[in-house]
Structure 1
């Protein structure tokens, strides 16, 4: 009986690894929204990490988290880091590249060895509005478990991206109406 159980567990492990090797080693999550505000007014709400925290979808999920914001808080090299006190729950977000008022590229590090690239693209849309696209790209390399997570990443991050973009839209349009 133990032999059969061992063989069955070995078969499951081999299948898990074998299938995992054929899964994509990269994942992308992308969402977009139309905002009735010009790119020049939307851009600072993303590129300044103080403003980013006002609409970030994760600001509600992190009651016990401590944040540290670098100075300056915008432009290449600006960084926001966090730590909730639990092992493996910290991370950082660093602005790597900006092209005002059209593009912001950030590097996201979370846990001890996970890294992703975040990109915001802001394009003129309609008469005085903006189309904002928020992308998340990550690579898993030889991490088989990560490749399985990659299959679920859109379902895990997508709703948060949608919430964040709706909050960005509200904030940008309120600010635009008050100017």
Structure 2
């Protein structure tokens, strides 16, 4: 049973909002990117358990729904305040992105696809950001950090930690 049928922890106002979005775009397959974006705007992520319902209502394949979520780099679970993508595309990988990812894992204490316990960071693997000549690339909240090195990871994370602390005071 999916979230849309049994509640799945989704607050009632969000369930109503989801149903409204789906009803407004029913059987309009060309609206798929718009629907996905509206769900993301409502929830802050696009949960996996509602994707089959989206496919059914818009009359598109489930593969198309997943591709749209992936293509737009939208989170499929609640994300941290800052979402970090480490590019693992061929060019970045050959230039050392794996070592950057390992340094992120070590410093954050989480694996790709997870969020730190304090909710400050989520770590994800990206496949290509179109900046191959600048690789390896890390993207934080859609800000591109070119020519990243493992030795720069600590300073990058600290920058976002300090910004978070400053915004709390």
Specify if TM > 0.5.
no
Q: Normalised by the size of structure 1, how large is the TM-score?
A: 0.24
Larger proportion of helix: 2
Q: Larger radius of gyration, structure 1 or 2? A: 1
Q: Normalised by the size of structure 2, how large is the TM-score?
A: 0.25
User: Which structure is higher in RCO with an 8 Å CA cutoff and minimum separation 6?
Assistant: 1
Larger proportion of strand: 1
